[in-house]
Amino acid sequence: MFFYLTNSIHFYVLVHHMC
């Protein structure tokens, strides 16, 4: 479960950084 949360945050950060 924690892994899923971390993955979600990482994806969000990546998209935000890309944008």
pLDDT tens for each residue of 1-19: 788 899 999 999 999 887 6
Query: What is the model's pLDDT at position 13?
Result: 93
d(Cα 6, Cα 8) in Å, to the nearest integer?
5
Query: What is the model's pLDDT at position 16?
Result: 87
Query: What is the model's pLDDT at position 2?
Result: 83
pTM, two decimals, is 0.14
